[in-house]
């Protein structure tokens, strides 16, 4: 499995970051677009509950990816993953449903993708969450270098899945709650009440 090496910086003005990316010579690979994804597991969530992973199918606008992800413990708090490109979003979901998996979370986000010096920088928007960016690269050094180029303080870095970003913005979220447990996460869906308990 390939290990993700990535970092997030939260509460970001995307307009300011775009200007910094342009000034640094970054290349816009994909403009801001709506993306949709599903998180799949068995009905009893046995893969996620045993930290064995989960299946994600994502329509990225220009391609559709099928990914098996597993959380791993390391400084960058990311995941290891196996990913392939597939040709049909709904049929891929249907194949996994036929094997006994179910959709546990149907999600949509907005994402803009840039590249700089071999790193991928994405400007992300999720429902009920302030804008943030994610920097991913093949090495920790490259992630740190690009972060510095964009004037980010390493002490402000956040590691882990998007659930970590939600917990930063909504500190009252129970530590046992995970974003993938919300059945529908879309821009027109009301924020769950438990975010503000």
- Which of 2-6, 59-63, 129-133 reaches the highest mean pLDDT? 129-133
Q: Is the pLDDT of residue 100 over 80?
A: yes
Q: Is the pLDDT of residue 197 over 80?
A: no
* β 79-86/64-71 pair status: antiparallel
Range 179-182, long-range pairs (CB < 8 A, 24+ positions) = 179/105, 180/39, 180/48, 180/54, 180/104, 180/105, 181/104, 181/105, 182/105
pLDDT at 79: 66
Q: Which residue has the higher pLDDT, 165 or 51?
A: 165
Q: Reduced to 3 DSSP states, what percent helix, strand and coil does the chain have, rounded to the nearest 5?
A: 25, 35, 35
- Joined tokens for residue 22: 């342009």
Report all structural domains of the chain as residue ranges with CATH numbers, in order of start. Answer: 2-196 (2.40.320.10)
CB 146 within 8 A of CB 154: no
Q: Is the pLDDT of residue 192 over 70?
A: yes
Rounded distance between C-alpha atoms, residue 147 and residue 156, angstroms: 10
Residue-wise over 94-103: b if at least 16 C-beta within 10 A, else e? eebeeeebeb
Confidence band, pLDDT 50/70/90 cuts, at residue 181: confident
Taking all residues of the chain, what is their mean pLDDT, rounded to a whole number? 90
CB 166 within 8 A of CB 143: no
Q: Is the pLDDT of residue 104 over 80?
A: yes
Residues found in the chain:
197
How many other CB atoms sit within 10 Å of the CB of residue 150? 21
- Which of 73-82, 107-116, 176-185 reaches the highest mean pLDDT? 107-116
60-88 residue pLDDT tens: 988 999 999 886 654 555 567 899 999 99
33-67 residue pLDDT tens: 999 999 999 999 888 777 778 899 999 988 999 99
Percentage above 70 pLDDT, the chain? 92
């Amino acid at each position: 499995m390939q290990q993700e090496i990535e970092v997030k910086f939260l509460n970001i003005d995307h307009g300011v970051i775009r200007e910094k990316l342009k000034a640094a010579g970054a290349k816009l690979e994909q403009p801001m677009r709506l993306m949709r994804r599903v998180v799949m597991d068995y009905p009893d969530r046995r893969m996620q509950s045993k930290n064995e992973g989960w299946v994600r199918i994502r329509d990225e606008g220009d391609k559709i990816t099928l990914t098996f992800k597993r959380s791993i413990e390391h400084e960058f708090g990311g995941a290891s993953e196996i990913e392939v490109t597939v040709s049909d979003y709904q049929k891929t979901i249907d194949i996994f449903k036929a094997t006994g998996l179910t959709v546990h979370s149907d999600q949509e986000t907005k994402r803009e993708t840039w590249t700089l010096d071999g790193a991928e920088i994405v400007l992300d928007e999720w429902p009920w969450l302030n804008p943030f960016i994610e920097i991913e690269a093949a090495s920790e050094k490259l992630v740190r270098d690009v972060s510095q180029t964009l004037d980010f303080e390493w002490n402000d870095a956040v590691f882990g899945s998007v659930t970590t970003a939600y917990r930063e913005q909504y500190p009252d979220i129970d530590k046992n709650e995970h974003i993938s447990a919300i059945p529908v996460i879309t821009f027109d869906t009301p924020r769950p009440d438990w975010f503000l308990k």
